Amino acid sequence: MANDAIADSVYDLIAGQDPDAAAILAAERERQATTLELIASENHVSPAVMHAAGTCFTNKYAEGYPGRRYYGGCVHHDEIELLAQQRACDLFKCQFANVQPHSGAQANAALFLALLEPGDTFASLVLADGGHLSHGLKVNLSGKWFNPVHYPLVRDESSPKFETIDYDEAERVCVEHKPKLIMCGYSAYPRVIDFARMRAIADKVGALLHADIAHIAGLVASGMHPSPFPHCHVVTTTTHKTLRGPRGGMFLTNDGELAKKYDRALFPGMQGGPLMHIVFAKAVAFGEALKPEFKAYQERVVANARALAEAMTKRSYRITSGGTDNHLMLVDLRARDAELTGADAEQWLERAGIITNKNGIPNDPRPPRVTSGLRLGTPALTTRGFGTKEMDEVAGLIDRALGSGGDDGVLAGVRADVRALCERFPLS
C-alpha cells in the first residue's frame, strides 16, 4: 500500500472515532507537506519508521532490560531491543548501546546520574555559544544539581579560528577547575569537533570525556564527521535529527563498567517502562542507516548546507565562523539588516511557509527570546530530494521574506512560491 494510502487509512480510522483530533492531524499533515522545513534538529522519517512508531509494541510494559524484565510476555520486546542495540553498535562501531532513553535530554540526565554526584564539577561549552540546556543551564537539573564550568569559542575576530572552539581556553578552564566530566558535542555548532584534542585535555585533568552527538549522529554514522570513538568514554545522542529516526535518545560506549552504571541510572534511576513502539521504530531507522543509500543522503546533506551557506552569504548575510562543515549554520541577520531580530525573522518566515528557529549567535547582544540570528539546517529538505541548485532558490525565498519588513502581500507571494516548490518535491 502506498504511503499516502496508509496515511489516509490512519486518518479515516481516527476520524471515525474522534473527528476533532483527526482534523488537527490533517492540518499538520498539510502543514508539513506544503512548507520548507529548515530547523536543523528536525527531519522527515521514512514511511517505514513513521508507521513502526504506531505498532502494537505500544501496548506492552517492558520495564528492565532484555532477559531481565519485570513483566511477563516480553519475548518479542527482548528481540527488538537486542536488534536495535546491535544495529546501533554496528552503526557507531562501539560495543554497548542503551536504546531506551526517551529523549536526548533524558539520555544526558541519566549520564549525570550514572557518573557524577550532586555538586560535582563538569565542563561544557558556553551555552550561548552553541551548547544545550542539558549541558548546564541553571534552570535545568544539570545546572541545579551539579557545578558547570564553561569554555568558549574563539572571540578574536582577526583570528582564522574566530567563532570555533577555543581548545586552548578549554584546556585552561579544565586545568583550573578539574572537572570530573568534560562535555563536547553541541546544538548549534557548524564545524568539525576535534575529539582527539578534547580527549588529551580530559586525560590531562583525569576527567571522563562525553560527546553529545545529537545533531551530527547521522553524519558520524555515515563517516561524514569524525567519530567520537575511540576518544570519548561515553556518547549520547538523539535518534531523530540527522539520524532520521523516531524522536528518542540513546547511550553508547566501549566500556562495560560504564555501560552497567548507565543502565542502572536510566532504569530504575530515571525512567520506568521504555517506549517499546519507539524502540521498534529505532531498530527500523538504524536498519535504514546501515544501507549504502544513507551515506549518499548524508553527503547530500553536507553539500546542501554548504550551498545554502554560500547562497545566504551572497545575499549579504553573515554565516558565523565563515561557513559550515556539517548540516547546519548560524545566520547573523545584522549584516543584512541591523534592526532585524531572530524573533521577527522566524515569524515572518513561518508566515511565508519557511520553518526556522531563532537562535543566538556567539556573543549575541540580544536576549534568547529575541536573538540576532537564525539556525538553518538541511536534513529535512535533503530528505525531500532538494539538491544544491534548490538551495539558491531557498535562499532567495528566505531573503524575499526577510526583506519584506513583515508585509502581508510580499509574504503571501513567497508562500505561493513555497507551495509550488513543495509540489515539485513531495513528501514520500
**Which of 212, 325, 332, 390 is the catalytic position?**
212
Amino acid symbol at 324: T
Is 320 catalytic? The answer is no
**Catalytic site includes residue 61:** yes
Q: Catalytic residue, from 34, 55, 61, 351: name it.
A: 61
| Active-site pick, 247, 282, 300, 375 | 247
Annotation says 63 is catalytic: yes
Out of 42, 63, 350, 417, which one is annotated catalytic? 63
Active site residue 212: yes
Catalytic residue among 164, 236, 237, 238: 238
Residues recognised as catalytic: 61, 63, 212, 238, 241, 247
